[in-house]
Amino acid sequence: MNKLYKILLIFVVALSSCNPMNDTYNLLNKDVQPPQAKFNYALTNADYVAISSKALADATNAKDSLLAKSIKSTNSLPEGYAAKYVPNLLTKMYPALGKGSSSIVAYNFNLGPLTALESYTSANQYTLNNADYATMGGAVMIYKYFSPSNPPASYIPEFLKAKYPTVADSTLEMINYKYATTDPAGGEVNLLDEEFSGSLGDFQAVSVTGDQVWKASSYKQDKYAKISGHLSSTNKDYDNEDWLVSPAINLKGFTDPNMQIDQAIKYINGQWNQATVQVSTDYTGNVATATWTPVTITTLPTGNDWAFVTSEKIDLSAFTGKTIHVAFKYISDTNNAATWEVNWIKINGTMPGSGNATPEVIKESGLYQLLNGTWATVPGVYVLNSADYNSMGAPGKYDNFSGSALPDDYLPQFLTQKYPYAQEGKQIVVVYKYYSGGTHTRADQYTFTNSKWTKYNPVEMKTAQFINIGTKWIFDPTVTFSMTSADYQLIVDAVKADPNKKYLVNKYGSGEYYYGASSYNGDFDARIVKRTEGPYAQPEYKGLSDADATKLIMKRIAEGINVLLQIKYPNAVAQVSGVDVMYIVTFKIYENDGSTGVFTVKFQCTKSAPNPQFTLVSGPTASN
């Protein structure tokens, strides 16, 4: 009986204490606030899917839609998406939490593609043709390809300058060309061979004085260029000045240039000044304004018959590497008028060569950029050529990568072989062709890290704080960082640039004693003695007590960090989503007793960029 009674009593008590409305009435009566909590959270795959769906619903254009879809496919958030979508996620997950709650959320942040890579892959492409090679002179003009002794970088910049004279600075051009892996055979080659067979060929006849002109003529089997100031119909001599000017002849890339002429002259009567051969390096179409240099010819015609005489090889080495025009200058007067016939003219030059008559010729490309008026290859960029694809096996079939021959499967090993002595941290951008419904240009950046080549990954782990303001969760834009050696150096450089303070920078340029920043030690030097004695003594410290001197030093340290913030965050804004932006900076101080302490300061951005302003809120305060 007693046992049964106890059981019934417990049951009644339980019923009276578990009335679900009692707690509700008590909460209402006591006006209990929602609970607060501080916690860490890492986004899950499901969270990225949810954010992707919401962002896709919000998208208003194709670019937004593409970014929204990328969230799901990459499990990462582009710039600004965490601040926009994580608060809604926290609201759904923690509806009971109230004002004052906060969460540090870890997520994958997507930096996006490197902008430089996009400019490389979208650069205009141009393929050199035979006419282009011909303008470059040397072996390139002869063989229509570049080679080790005639590298593209020695010719293409000048070609681009002439082809694109008005393009804007920073313009990029991808130039496709042919390249021989070894030099051609070399030897003496012909640069100009004009036989005047029924015409003046590419030579230009220029008449300055008189009615008689250079013209194509012939006698029996001989064909030649001819001029005479004597008119047989009147049997008189006339005043004349006439030029027969060659096309441009580019001697660049040739050694020992020389010229031979086969000519006949009659009725010269010893006046050889009436028939001279001259060379110009600045002729642009006007013989009167060009500078002409006569050449000396030893083997000349007799001057009194029609026999053609071939000259010796006339030395043109004074014009090596230049573009020249050769002219036959004829003058006559009423007292004497010779007849001059030029049967042919040849100009030759010698090219360096390896003796290889049939070198391997491959397809190459080079990325060139115009900077400060000069075209040059873009440093740190390598464009794969046809031999590179062949060396990798499968990609060599079509000279491109594809879904069945992925660049990630080949490029790391390729770079290892191409750069066997790469140092830690070396970066290379590889530009290549990729087939996907068509052949497109792509580019990836690789960095040599831990003895291997690693492709640039735009996704990195990031954390951000979110706070509950009572009505909703919002992104907390507080910027928190610990100063590094580079940060201290920024302050040193600022002092160095100030003409009134630069004398306070040490001889190594790594420390200063106005604010006390030292990049070498990675701290602020707060020693009073450095301000009162020696080369860095400052009058404002004279007569101060140690306490007041320390107070001034701490004040200047805070000022120095203010300088750092202005340099480090030139695009800072005062508010994000209506929340004031704070900067909490942790740094080290080397103190008078030789110890090093860790301190923090808190600044508020009180004016947005441009020229943002920061106001000290608290500190410097020693950290526990």
Mean pLDDT along residues 117-144: 90
| pLDDT computed for residue 238 by the predictor | 97
Q: Comparing 443 with 353, which gets the higher pLDDT? A: 443
Q: How far apart are CA 94 and CA 356, in angstroms?
A: 77
**Tell me, what DSSP letter sits at residue 423?**
P
Does residue 624 carry a pLDDT above 80? no
Does residue 243 carry a pLDDT above 70? yes
The two structure tokens encoding residue 63 = 């670019």
Q: How far apart are CA 260 and CA 414, in angstroms?
A: 51
Does residue 160 carry a pLDDT above 80? yes
Q: How far apart are CA 109 and CA 90, in angstroms?
A: 18
**Rg of the chain taking only CA atoms, in angstroms:** 42
Q: How far apart are CA 411 and CA 423, in angstroms?
A: 17
| pLDDT computed for residue 20 by the predictor | 40
Does residue 590 carry a pLDDT above 90? yes
Mean pLDDT along residues 60-88: 92
Beta bridge mates, 249 = 324
| pLDDT computed for residue 31 by the predictor | 56
| pLDDT computed for residue 45 by the predictor | 95
Q: Which amino acid is at 257?
A: P
Q: How far apart are CA 147 and CA 354, in angstroms?
A: 11
| pLDDT computed for residue 139 by the predictor | 81
Single pTM value for the model = 0.56
| pLDDT computed for residue 133 by the predictor | 94
Does residue 9 carry a pLDDT above 70? no
* % residues pLDDT > 90 (the chain): 79
Angle 594-596-598 from CA coordinates, rounded to 5°: 160
| pLDDT computed for residue 149 by the predictor | 84
How many CB atoms are closer than 10 A to CB 124?
A: 11
How many CB atoms are closer than 10 A to CB 603?
A: 24
Q: How far apart are CA 100 and CA 476, in angstroms?
A: 12
Mean pLDDT along residues 509-525: 95
| pLDDT computed for residue 354 by the predictor | 61
Does residue 26 carry a pLDDT above 80? no
Q: pLDDT grade, residue 5 (50/70/90)?
A: very low
**Tell me, what DSSP letter sits at residue 438?**
S
The mean of the pLDDT values for the chain is 91
CATH architecture of 187-351: Sandwich (2.60)
Mean pLDDT along residues 7-24: 36
Does residue 227 carry a pLDDT above 90? yes
* % residues pLDDT > 70 (the chain): 94
| pLDDT computed for residue 355 by the predictor | 61
Does residue 470 carry a pLDDT above 50? yes
Q: pLDDT grade, residue 353 (50/70/90)?
A: low
- Annotated domain spans of the chain: 32-112+458-476, 187-351, 380-456, 479-622
Beta bridge mates, 614 = 605
Q: Comparing 399 with 19, which gets the higher pLDDT? A: 399
- Give Cα 371 distance to the centre of its chain: 9
Q: How far apart are CA 530 and CA 514, in angstroms?
A: 10
Ranges 186-200, 206-220, 332-346, 363-377: which has the least confidence: 186-200
Does residue 17 carry a pLDDT above 70? no
610 preceded by cis ω (within 30°)?
A: yes
